[in-house]
Amino acid sequence: MSEILNSATSQSNSKQTRHLHPGVIAGFCALLLFSALAATINTKPYMPPKVAQKYMEYWLIDSARQVAGEVRLKHVRDIEPFYLRRDYQPIWMDSYELTDAGSSLVQVLQETSADHWREYGYSLQALMREIRGISNLPKQATAVDVLLTDAFITYAQQALNKELLPDMGESDHPSYRKVSAIKSNGHEVSSSDIVELLKQSLNEDKLSELITQLTPNHSGYQALREQLNHYQKIMATGKWYALPPEFQLKEGERHRLVPHIRWLLTQYGDLKPGAFSWLFEDKELLMESPRADESVNLNKPSFKFDKYLVAGIKQLQGRFQLDQNGEIDAPTLEALNIPPYHMAQKIALNMKRWRHLPRNLGDRHIMVNMADFRLQFKEGEKTSLDMKVITGRPLRRTPVLAQTVSTVVLAPTWSVPRRIAIGDILPQIKRDPKYLDRKGFSLVKSVKGIDQYTSAKDINWKKMSPRYFPYRLVQKAGQGNALGDVKFVLPNDKSIYLHDTNHPELFSRDMRALSSGCIRVEHPKQLADKLIAGQQGWNRSNIDSAILQNRTTHIRLQKPVPVYLMYWTTWVDDNGNLQIRDDVYQRDLIGSLARNSKKSLAL
């Protein structure tokens, strides 16, 4: 009996097992299928080397004049042998994706050309079109690699040959040296030189580092890069439009365009999101103004120019150095109406100005921003001095310089640069021969290489002219001297230096482009203290004594300090705010800043 029961039980279990098989198998198959799909999704498409070689050869040999259908390669004679040695394998692409170095290069090419200052020759339109449409197509992926290499060679040549430096070649201050003395004999970097750089970087697996080395590394440049990307995103939204001409608004007033003003201030970073949104149920209405033909109830809170918007307007006015009255007046309207496209151009051009500077600015250095009329003395990350400066007037613009203060002169005499002597002082002497004595000038003439002083009474001033004036003018130290009490010597061939002034009242002006080219500093003795600090035998008491006695004294600095005379009309301050200044020297070379935008919305 027990055997029968055991047999029956066994058969029953066997049947149950057979009945479970279909469900188990189905579940197992589903699990396998899901795993396979997941693996497929997470697997990066792969381009076999033979496929890459096939299309690389096609672009470099068969279609070098029509890469991506339209681009004629500029450096194909250097590029083709370069890829040949690499078996025609990509360097910027990892199969169908940009490598980190490739992404960095695209960013640099875009930001470099964003100012439209010149034709850069990167074929960016075709390049970006191909990048957007890569998918898993080897023909497009290899075209992107070839285009990037061609663009990189062009960019690297421009960077290393100093072709990306704005504000150069101005004739405001001709060099006083002979042309032969300053003619450069330096080697111009060729495309073959760049290819060698590429080879070396690839061999050392340092392609990303090469991109970095060709781009300014300063925090100011990186901060402007973020702002450039931000303004390009604003432009891409398609929501920007200018406010109408002569538009005005004060606190408490209501207008159908208030939501758009709120949107503008939020985009520009002057109105922080969330500071006001709790007041409104529909947050979309906060930022979108109604259509011109749409009737609205202006009594709604979203149409009121309230205290939050007033605060945002004041923030914007501060960034533009406007009167911070919190009202939308004519200057504020102009600032609000700068199209993102123009601001992006302005930012990109100011990014290039960082290329004038060395990668290491020095632990202690002086930074002058001519567009902001300010000087800062930097010690590490700390700004230990911050003062106003007076720069060259628009017809005698202070040049961009990167030099060092090597000598501080107390109670300086002034050897008048010839451009000032014949352009400014000679006409006054001819009108009033006593001008020289009254202002403390001496006449010096070189006779057989020896300086000789000449009396003004012995000169027939009627015969003197800008073409014939064989004298130098030297102003004695003391009260009335144009250089004031202190001069800071910068080695350069344009007679540009920093100095005190005998007209300190000019520092009260907002627009301080008033000098003949040199930089007048607001607090020269404080600056001298910083530079001379630690040098044996010198302190503030010694400095004051030399000045009081009109004893001209040259103090050679034991540790010369770098000085950078720069021109930034946009920069990011320590609080992360984009600062904008007037282009007083007309150096920005970009279009008008939307004084009459065609996209202005009708009232």
Strand segments (E) across 206-328: none
Sorting pLDDT into bands at 50, 70 and 90, what band is 181? very low
**Each residue's pLDDT tens digit, 486-508:** 999 999 988 899 999 999 999 99
pLDDT given at position 283: 52
**Each residue's pLDDT tens digit, 558-602:** 999 999 999 999 999 999 999 999 999 999 976 443 333 333 333
Q: Where are the domains of the chain?
A: 49-167+189-213, 243-336, 414-475
- Kindly state the DSSP code that residue 422 receives in the 8-state scheme: I
- Give yes or no for residue 117 having a pLDDT over 90: no
**Each residue's pLDDT tens digit, 335-388:** 999 999 999 999 999 999 999 999 999 999 999 999 999 999 999 889 999 999
pTM score, whole prediction = 0.86
Percent of the chain whose pLDDT exceeds 90: 70
Phi-psi region of 390 (alpha: psi -120 to 50; beta: other; left: phi over 0): beta
**Each residue's pLDDT tens digit, 408-455:** 999 999 999 998 999 999 999 999 888 999 999 999 998 888 888 988
* Spatial distance between the Cα atoms of 372 and 510, rounded to a whole number of angstroms: 9
Q: Which of 241, 249, 247 is nearest to 306 (CA)?
A: 249
Q: CA of 165: how far to CAs of 224, 341, 350, 352, 491, in Å?
A: 17, 21, 10, 6, 21
pLDDT given at position 154: 97
- Asked whether 554 and 407 are in contact (CB, 8 A), the reply is yes
* Spatial distance between the Cα atoms of 193 and 191, rounded to a whole number of angstroms: 5
pLDDT given at position 178: 41
Sorting pLDDT into bands at 50, 70 and 90, what band is 11? very low
- Give yes or no for residue 1 having a pLDDT over 50: no
Sorting pLDDT into bands at 50, 70 and 90, what band is 182? very low
Percent of the chain whose pLDDT exceeds 70: 86
CATH classification of 243-336 is 3.30.230.10, yes or no?
no
- Average pLDDT score, the chain: 87
* Spatial distance between the Cα atoms of 152 and 160, rounded to a whole number of angstroms: 12
* Spatial distance between the Cα atoms of 526 and 454, rounded to a whole number of angstroms: 37
Q: Which of 248, 244, 259 is nearest to 303 (CA)?
A: 259
Consecutive H or E run containing 572 = strand 570-572
Lowest mean pLDDT among 129-138, 214-223, 408-417, 552-561: 129-138
pLDDT given at position 333: 98
pLDDT given at position 595: 35
